A and B are shown apart, each in its own frame.
Chain A
């Protein structure tokens, strides 16, 4: 029987160490909404989302109340819209109407973000996919809750450098289109290599074509719990350190698994996966950077940071895998700058640069995330950064992503406020040397040799 010490430990994690379920994400397939008529397509999309997700927020709140565990976000992911809208949309403007329909549906069912305004172009681009990508700036500027993602490469296909070049331009145009809100549109736009089909976390969530009609995916969190557990083993060797992270990750994930199964049963929608991620928020004590510093770094960014992060990421997975029957999504430690107070502090004290962040992304999910850069950064430089991240993902057979915010009108030294979970960020310097001739070559980078496993 459960004893008072165990009850107190769990409640201390929730009340003092900010343990929560970060998101219940309902994946909805929109493939059965496809139509040649745009109005009919929009109506069918709106109706399907509202019908499938009508109880999502209510059930989320019920579970919160009954288990006493906060569920921070209830969200929706949908089939990549480039696939859904292909028959009906003949221009980027046509696609924007779908973004607006999705936004209305998200508001109607009460979710704070809906992901899947996406295109998967890792090898080539159809006309519909190109139109969707071209529509992103306008779609982001005219909606509130829609998240967009584009997959531009994979280990199996190589990197679509035409898409990389285009995305450099699209990121800048999105920044320009939303400059009144500190270029906020770019905070809802992710460029992936090896994008997973079942990621519950925004902004990169979409409901892949390998998925069923609807699915419940859950993302857990809990950097504060890991940090607190490590405080008790200060100065101990790496074996003890690793065991502590693993045990803590197990407990956190078990809670996520419970919530996922409950939500699945109450909504009568199949359970997909639990995403074992340490997702920070801007709140003090909810930081991945603080975990790395607790391991013994004076500041995140110092030599040893990549090793510390690799260890953390691996132990979280080892603990989490046993706690859940299905693991998927991104599963790793997130290192967004603006959403993690410890990362923000490290940038401000000059300890953490984009180059070090790039090295860190080779050992953790996901990538260069929520980094504010000068608004005058050239599109080809942004494309170069995307290409570097995609190369890390392609060669290491892992997901990598880029979510950069070139803040129009801001430069190094300025601080940009995004609000809420998106936090705030100091504008970071970008290497000023050009890669334009490299990016402008066009074409594809072939798949790496170790992808040929058949």
Chain B
């Protein structure tokens, strides 16, 4: 299992989740969990995805998603799950 956390932060707009999910599905990346909130008009989403069968390397995914984020005006970041796991779980 290679879990990655994708965070999307920015101004809310139509189709943010659709665009990200389309990209993930095209690259064989499975979405396991999505949570999102909107705080003062700002979209804040976290996805837990499994990149175990991904057809692209981690670096490419991070760069592509950052690019997609720029196109729709939000900030998209990919990080391996362990950094959060280590920091918040004993």
Contact = CB atoms under 8 A, between A and B. Distances in A.
Nearest to A262: B82
A319 to B, nearest CB: 12
A3 B83 contact: no
B37 A4 contact: yes
A180 interface: no
A437 interface: no
A9 B46 CA distance: 12
Interface stretch (A60-68, A86-94, A153-161, A396-404): A60-68
Interface in A1-59: 1-4, 6-11
- Residue among B37, B78, B82 with max Cβ neighbours from chain A (10 Å): B82
B88 to A, nearest CB: 4
A6 B44 contact: no
A69 interface: yes
A75 interface: no
A2 B85 contact: yes
Nearest to A68: B79
Nearest to B89: A2
A445 interface: no
A258 B84 contact: no
Contacts of A182: none
A6 B82 CA distance: 12
A7 B58 contact: no
Interface in A228-258: 251, 254-255, 257-258
A68 B63 CA distance: 12
Contacts of B7: 7-8, 11
B11 interface: no
B59 interface: yes
Given A4-B37, A7-B5, A66 B87 contact: no
Interface in A272-307: none
A255 B87 contact: yes
B83 A69 contact: yes
Nearest to B82: A258
Contacts, number: 61
Contacts of B80: 66-67
A3 B87 CA distance: 12
Q: Is the interface of B mostly helix, strand, loop or mixed?
A: strand
Contacts of B77: 11, 68
B49 interface: no
B88 A6 contact: yes
Nearest to B80: A66
B86 A2 contact: no
A8 B35 CA distance: 12
Contact of A255 (B36, B78, B83): B83
Contact of B86 (A7, A8, A68, A258): A258
B79 A67 contact: yes
B83 A6 contact: no
B13 to A, nearest CB: 19
B71 interface: no
A7 B47 CA distance: 10
B7 to A, nearest CB: 6
Given A2-B88, A68-B79, A255-B87, A7 B59 contact: no
B74 interface: no
A248 to B, nearest CB: 11
B38 interface: no
A11 B83 CA distance: 10
Interface in B9-67: 33, 35-37, 44, 46, 48, 58-59, 62
Contact of A10 (B36, B48, B87): B87
A260 to B, nearest CB: 11
A66 B61 CA distance: 10
Given A7-B5, A7-B46, A65-B58, A1 B83 contact: no
Nearest to A7: B46
Nearest to A2: B84
A418 B81 CA distance: 39
Given A4-B37, A6-B88, A11-B7, A68 B44 contact: no
Contacts of B5: 2, 7
B70 to A, nearest CB: 17
Contacts of B36: 4
A65 B88 contact: no
13 contacts: A2-B5, A3-B46, A7-B46, A10-B87, A10-B88, A66-B62, A66-B79, A67-B79, A68-B83, A251-B88, A255-B87, A258-B82, A258-B83
Given A2-B48, A7-B7, A66-B79, 10 more contacts: A3-B35, A4-B36, A4-B46, A7-B84, A10-B83, A66-B59, A255-B83, A255-B87, A258-B83, A258-B86
